[in-house]
Amino acid sequence: MDKINHNKKKETELDTFNKIKSLSCQDLNDYKIRFNDSNSVIEQVKRVSETRRSFNRLRSDWFDFLYTDTDSYKKLLDNERNILESAEKVVKSEQNRNEYEKNIQGLKEGCLKKYLLTRLPKGLQEKVKDDNFLDVFKMDASQEAVVVSIDIRDSTQLMLNAKKPELFAEFIRDVTAKIFEIIKENYGISDKFTGDGLLCFFPKKYSGDDAIYYALKASAAAHKLFEQEYKNHYDKFSVVKADIGLGIGIDSGEVYFTPVCQEPTIVGIPVVYACRLSAAPAYHTYLNQPAYELVQQKYRNLYTFENRTISFKDQGPMIAYDVNLNFDAINPQKPNWIDE
């Protein structure tokens, strides 16, 4: 009878061992499937594999092992339990990371919507609810754009000539707000106020295939506006300089749209050269080579130009193009997102 009870006890313990082994290994296999791209989990799986091989070696002589090396058996079970606990921590860490990334994405979308609401033409604010439209301004991504940098030439002296700082601020505020509207009307985005002007861009996905047309048209309108606004504000200055006007630089190419201090902005080579070319004389718009080539390709025989030489620190003299486009002779395409 004692022998029968002893054998039954061994069979029960063996059954319990196999259940523990099967359950724990299956749980670890689930972790492996769910997080097979996680280096930390891969390391855990390697450790599990070693444990499983140890169990397999022990299985053949289980009855002897159970009673002769119980401490080793417990250590193996403890090891596997630790592995499971470690894997659970990895899972929790992955869940926290996913939640963090989700929150960051939500913040980016919120910043983008706020950014666009003040920069889209009237009646188009509803577009920010359209995910397909928001893809046009995908954050942390590159896209082709025409970049326009608008600068008030000799703005430092202009400020010193103002009767009071608040009068100069009023002049700058009024001029900038009206140029802002000009950019909107021509399917462009006013990226930021630079202190004495605006940085704008005309993304191809937003402004369309005639982005360079709209950039040049907005620039021409900005020159006329500034000339008139300056006259309207002569009474704010103790000395009225005659050579005050806008210098505008235009370049095109790949820009990168990214949040900086929770505010979307563009960076890239075209931004650099558009800003440099805005050192053009008052009432002139200078184009860099890539922007000029767009005009050449799309509006042959519909423009005139003059080569200009402009020098920059550490750059030396470079060729720029002073272009006059025959806007009336061109029927530009509207952006494809505009509802017909």
Of 55, 80, 110, the residue at which a domain comes to its end is 110
Give the span between the Cα atoms of 86 and 82, in whole angstroms.
6
**Candidate ranges 104-108, 119-123, 177-181, 194-198; pick with highest mean pLDDT:** 177-181
Give the span between the Cα atoms of 79 and 73, in whole angstroms.
10
Residue 30 has pLDDT above 70, yes or no: no
In this predicted model, what pLDDT tens digit does every residue of 80-92 receive, in sequence order? 677 666 766 666 6
Of 53, 80, 110, the residue at which a domain comes to its end is 110
In this predicted model, what pLDDT tens digit does every residue of 249-265 receive, in sequence order? 999 999 999 888 778 89
What does the block give as tokens for 26?
């299956």
Averaged over 10-22, what is the pLDDT?
53
**Within a domain: 8:** yes
69 and 141 together in one domain: no
Of 69, 84, 110, the residue at which a domain comes to its end is 110
% of the chain beyond a pLDDT of 70: 67
pLDDT of residue 65: 45
**Nearest 5°: phi and psi at 261?**
55, 45
160 and 140 together in one domain: yes
pLDDT of residue 313: 74
208 and 307 together in one domain: yes
pLDDT of residue 295: 97
178 and 286 together in one domain: yes
**Candidate ranges 35-39, 41-45, 114-118, 148-152; pick with highest mean pLDDT:** 148-152
In our burial notation (b when 16+ CB lie closer than 10 A, e otherwise), range 252-274 reads bbebebebeeeebbbebebbbbb
How many residues comprise the chain?
A: 340
Give the span between the Cα atoms of 204 and 209, in whole angstroms.
6
Question: Which of 23-27, 42-46, 254-258, 288-292 is least confident?
Answer: 23-27
**Within a domain: 223:** yes
Q: What sign does the dihedral 214-269-141-106 (CA atoms) show? A: negative
Averaged over 48-70, what is the pLDDT?
52
126 and 199 together in one domain: yes
Confidence of residue 11 (pLDDT cuts 50, 70, 90): low
Query: Which residues 6+ apart lie within 8 Å of 35 measured at CB?
Result: 41, 90, 91, 94
83 and 136 together in one domain: no
Residue 48 has pLDDT above 50, yes or no: yes
pLDDT of residue 62: 47
Confidence of residue 34 (pLDDT cuts 50, 70, 90): very low
218 and 146 together in one domain: yes
105 and 130 together in one domain: no
Cβ contact 179:151 at 8 Å: no
pLDDT of residue 138: 83
**Within a domain: 334:** no
Tokens 């202009």 correspond to 158
Counting the structural domains of the chain, the total is 2
Cβ contact 280:219 at 8 Å: no
Bigger pLDDT: 246 or 23? 246
170 and 279 together in one domain: yes
- Which DSSP state fits 280? S
86 and 215 together in one domain: no
**Within a domain: 339:** no
Query: Which residues 6+ apart lie within 8 Å of 234 measured at CB?
Result: 240
Strands 284-287, 246-260: parallel, antiparallel or unpaired by DSSP? parallel
pLDDT of residue 25: 47
Phi-psi region of 283 (alpha: psi -120 to 50; beta: other; left: phi over 0): left
- DSSP SS3 for 2: helix
- Domain range enclosing 282: 120-329
Kindly report the three-state secondary structure assignment for every residue of 207-252: HCCCHHHHHHHHHHHHHHHHHHHHHHCHHHECCCCCCCCEEEEEEE
Cβ contact 195:212 at 8 Å: no
pTM, entire model: 0.69
Residue 212 has pLDDT above 70, yes or no: yes
316 and 232 together in one domain: yes
Query: In whole angstroms, how far apart are CA 155 and each of 67, 196, 254?
Result: 92, 6, 30
Mean pLDDT estimate for the chain: 80
Q: What is the CATH number of the domain that holds 143?
A: 3.30.70.1230
Confidence of residue 267 (pLDDT cuts 50, 70, 90): very high
- Which DSSP state fits 301? T
Position 197, amino acid:
G
**Within a domain: 337:** no
Residue 298 has pLDDT above 90, yes or no: yes
Phi-psi region of 239 (alpha: psi -120 to 50; beta: other; left: phi over 0): beta
**Within a domain: 298:** yes
Averaged over 203-210, what is the pLDDT?
94
Averaged over 196-208, what is the pLDDT?
94
Q: Within 10 Å of residue 190's Cβ, how many Cβ atoms?
A: 21
Give the span between the Cα atoms of 101 and 269, in whole angstroms.
29
- DSSP SS3 for 26: helix
Averaged over 95-106, what is the pLDDT?
57
**Within a domain: 340:** no
Bigger pLDDT: 237 or 6? 237
In this predicted model, what pLDDT tens digit does every residue of 115-165 receive, in sequence order? 888 888 877 777 777 778 888 888 888 999 999 999 999 999 999 999 999
Tokens 């820009």 correspond to 255
**Within a domain: 42:** yes
Averaged over 4-14, what is the pLDDT?
55
Give the span between the Cα atoms of 209 and 203, in whole angstroms.
9
Q: What sign does the dihedral 70-71-72-76 (CA atoms) show? A: positive
Averaged over 67-88, what is the pLDDT?
63
167 and 281 together in one domain: yes
Q: What sign does the dihedral 324-330-333-338 (CA atoms) show? A: positive
